[in-house]
């Protein structure tokens, strides 16, 4: 049995009743945190998952709604005297700033009492993560910020979507996208579950793109504030336009997809 629990489903601004982006994947006895928006540690406590059982954390990109809860999670591991290693997979550009940030908030990585390992994503290459097969693919989500803040800088502003496979299952977590077509490398072959954000393009644009793809289940999350109020209409539209998909859900905090 495997499952994906949605710890936070809000967009990039605080929302009543929703935490920021975070997922907990449980597969073949392993627990992996995918993104770490706040308050992921509180939610883990509420659902009864000990901090020490999480073996890896996968970060799609550096926006605070995807990474803001990470220091609190590491502090919880430290306070509860974790000893087992924890590996962070993330865009390489974040490693040195994250080390500095943790040191600044009195969580120096080399003094936590457990090995904290940093592994940079390699676009398009397979990463072995706690028995999972994870392939990151770049998205265009941060291209606009690169042009605004640092035109021509190819060392920064990297965001990724993730394909995660195990025991014959294939799941894709979109992270944040610049356009639905960012998912092309993942959706060239069938997937069992697509977890897709709805904050950076219209639902109609996403559904038009997905009509030609082979997807067994679709989990919609990370709605923009303006679209969240239209969630029921959007779900009806998705089911009408994507009849080949067996199950389409609008995910809330605490919801779980089982495999």
Which residues have a Cβ under 8 Å from the Cβ of 215 and sit 6 or more positions away?
187, 190, 191, 193, 194, 242, 244, 245
Q: What is the CATH number of the domain that holds 128?
A: 3.60.15.10
Q: What is the pLDDT of residue 116?
A: 98
Distance of alpha carbon 197 from alpha carbon 176, whole angstroms: 6
Domain extent for 122? 3-258
pLDDT 10s digit of each residue in the chain, 259 long?
899 999 999 999 999 999 999 999 999 899 999 999 999 999 999 999 999 999 999 999 999 999 999 999 999 999 999 999 999 999 999 999 999 999 999 999 999 999 999 999 999 999 999 999 999 999 999 999 999 999 999 999 999 999 999 999 999 999 999 999 999 999 999 999 999 999 999 999 999 999 999 999 999 999 999 999 999 999 999 999 999 999 999 999 999 999 9
Q: What is the pLDDT of residue 37?
A: 98
Q: What is the pLDDT of residue 28?
A: 86
Q: What is the pLDDT of residue 1?
A: 84
Sheet with 215-223: strands ordered across: 127-129, 132-139, 159-166, 169-173, 191-198, 215-223, 247-250
Tell me how many domains the chain contains. 1
Q: What is the pLDDT of residue 163?
A: 98
Which residues have a Cβ under 8 Å from the Cβ of 205 and sit 6 or more positions away?
179, 180
Q: Say what the pTM is.
A: 0.96
Q: What is the pLDDT of residue 123?
A: 97
């Amino acid at each position: 049995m495997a499952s994906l629990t949605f710890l936070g489903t809000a967009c990039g601004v605080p929302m009543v009743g929703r935490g920021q982006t975070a997922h907990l994947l449980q597969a073949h006895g392993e627990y992996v945190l995918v993104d770490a928006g706040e308050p992921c540690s509180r939610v883990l406590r509420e659902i009864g998952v000990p901090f020490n059982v999480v073996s890896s954390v996968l970060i799609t990109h550096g926006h605070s709604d995807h990474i803001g809860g990470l220091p609190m999670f590491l502090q919880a591991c430290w306070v509860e005297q974790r000893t087992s290693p924890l590996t962070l997979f993330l865009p390489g550009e974040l490693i040195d700033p994250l080390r500095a940030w943790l040191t600044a908030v009195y969580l120096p990585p080399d003094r936590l009492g457990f090995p904290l390992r940093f592994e940079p994503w390699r676009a398009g290459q397979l990463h072995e993560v706690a028995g999972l097969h994870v392939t990151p693919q770049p998205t265009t989500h941060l291209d606009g910020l690169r042009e605004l803040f640092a035109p021509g800088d190819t060392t920064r502003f990297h965001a990724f979507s993730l394909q995660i496979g195990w025991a014959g299952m294939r799941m894709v977590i979109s992270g944040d996208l610049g356009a639905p077509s960012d998912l092309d490398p993942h959706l060239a072959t069938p997937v069992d579950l697509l977890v897709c954000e709805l904050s950076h393009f219209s639902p109609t644009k996403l559904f038009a793109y997905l009509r030609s793809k082979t997807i067994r289940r679709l989990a919609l999350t990370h709605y923009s504030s303006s679209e969240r109020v239209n969630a029921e209409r959007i779900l009806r539209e998705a089911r009408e336009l994507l009849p080949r998909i067996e199950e389409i859900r609008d995910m809330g905090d605490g919801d779980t997809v089982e495999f």
